[in-house]
């Protein structure tokens, strides 16, 4: 078997919210393992096109589709179009998400619902419509991108934590219902990663940077490429008997209670 366990040649992988950041890094990893990548975004066709070109420069086959993962009608049309133009979706990575940092007592109900819709309801919508063809083919991989907040709370991210905690349980229930069809549904829980979004708080001397470095046993922020191996594993034959599992890629955060800031 060897490395063929991780070979994704001939597979089609749809990664939602994959025009940048962690979604793009995971898509790149899947593409380097041989999969044809479907790049998804909803804010800008240019961002989608730029991501596709970046993959193609790496020798990765990629196509881009703009649609709103929280709109069921758009999802249904997009999936039908992808499967007609590219081929059956073998791998679905539910990565699209948002966060709104607001204390719960100050948060508008509309904002709370928006986070839930995108971070929790959209993985249900996407999976519901992709899995039907997976069931008929009796094979498929679904990877839900969970979070440290699937396990832990933190100030000002109550809506996000509620969604990601729900996504963990949705993952387990998907496995409960769909594993019998030879479909594996698992999650990845990223820790804290060095992305363009976290750049302003990763500077030396910033309190949150010091907190994360001190809180993480690996004593550093993750590199987005660190997620590629987890994504490839859960998308490949190597994980054919892994189901309902959340793989935390967090540098050890969940393994420890942490340490005082003055302790080496």
CATH number for the domain harbouring residue 111? 3.40.50.720
Q: Is 192 a catalytic residue?
A: no
Burial profile 208-230: b = 16 or more Cβ within 10 angstroms, e = fewer: ebeebbebbeeeebbebebbbeb
Does 214 map to a domain? no
Q: Tell me if 227 is assigned to some domain.
A: yes
Is position 172 within any domain? yes
pTM passes above 0.85: yes
- Domain total in the chain: 1
63 alpha carbon, distance to own chain's centre: 18
pLDDT in single tens digits along all 264 residues of the chain: 557 999 999 999 999 999 999 999 999 999 999 999 999 999 999 999 999 999 999 999 999 999 999 999 999 999 999 999 999 999 999 999 999 999 999 999 999 999 999 999 999 999 999 999 999 999 999 999 999 999 999 999 999 999 999 999 999 999 999 999 999 999 999 999 998 878 888 998 899 999 999 999 999 999 999 999 999 999 999 999 999 999 999 999 999 998 776 666
Q: How far apart (Å, rounded) are the C-alpha atoms in residues 193 and 144?
A: 17
Residue 211: inside a domain: no
Tell me, yes or no, whether 216 lies in a domain: no
54: in domain? yes
Q: Catalytic one among 65, 160, 192, 248?
A: 160
Quick one: tokens of 48?
């989608």
The verdict on residue 206 lying in a domain is: no
Range of the domain at 176: 2-196+223-255
Residue 54 is predicted with a pLDDT of: 98
**What's the CA gap between 164 and 147, in Å, rounded?**
6
Q: Where are the beta strands (DSSP E) in 99-234?
A: 140-145, 183-190
Where on the phi/psi map is residue 205: left (φ > 0), alpha (ψ -120 to 50), or beta?
Answer: left
Q: What per-residue confidence (pLDDT) applies to 1?
A: 53
Q: Is residue 73 part of a domain?
A: yes
Q: Which of 31, 35, 32, 37 is nearest to 15 (CA)?
A: 37
């Amino acid at each position: 078997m060897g490395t063929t366990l991780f070979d994704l040649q001939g597979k089609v992988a749809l990664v939602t919210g994959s025009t940048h950041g962690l979604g793009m890094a995971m898509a790149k990893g899947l593409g380097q393992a041989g999969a044809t990548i479907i790049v998804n975004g909803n804010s800008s066709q240019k961002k989608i096109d730029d991501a596709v070109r970046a993959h193609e420069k790496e020798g990765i086959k990629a196509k881009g589709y703009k649609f709103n993962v929280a709109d069921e009608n758009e999802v249904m049309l997009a999936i039908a179009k992808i499967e007609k133009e590219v081929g059956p979706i073998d791998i679905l990575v539910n990565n699209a998400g948002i966060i709104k940092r607001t204390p719960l007592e100050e948060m508008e109900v509309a904002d709370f619902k928006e986070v839930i819709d995108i971070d929790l309801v959209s993985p249900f919508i996407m999976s519901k419509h992709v899995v039907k063809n997976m069931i008929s083919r009796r094979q498929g991989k679904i990877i839900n991108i969970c979070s440290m907040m699937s396990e832990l709370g933190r100030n000002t991210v109550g809506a996000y934590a509620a969604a990601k905690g729900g996504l963990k349980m949705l993952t387990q229930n998907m496995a409960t219902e769909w594993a019998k069809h030879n479909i594996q549904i698992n999650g990845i829980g990223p820790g804290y990663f060095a992305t363009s979004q976290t750049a302003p708080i990763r500077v030396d001397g910033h309190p949150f940077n010091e907190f994360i470095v001190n809180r993480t046993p690996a004593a550093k922020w993750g590199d987005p490429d660190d997620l590629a191996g987890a994504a490839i594993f859960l998308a490949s034959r190597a994980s054919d008997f892994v189901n309902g599992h959340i793989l935390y890629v967090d540098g050890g955060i969940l393994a420890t209670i942490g340490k005082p800031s003055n302790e080496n």
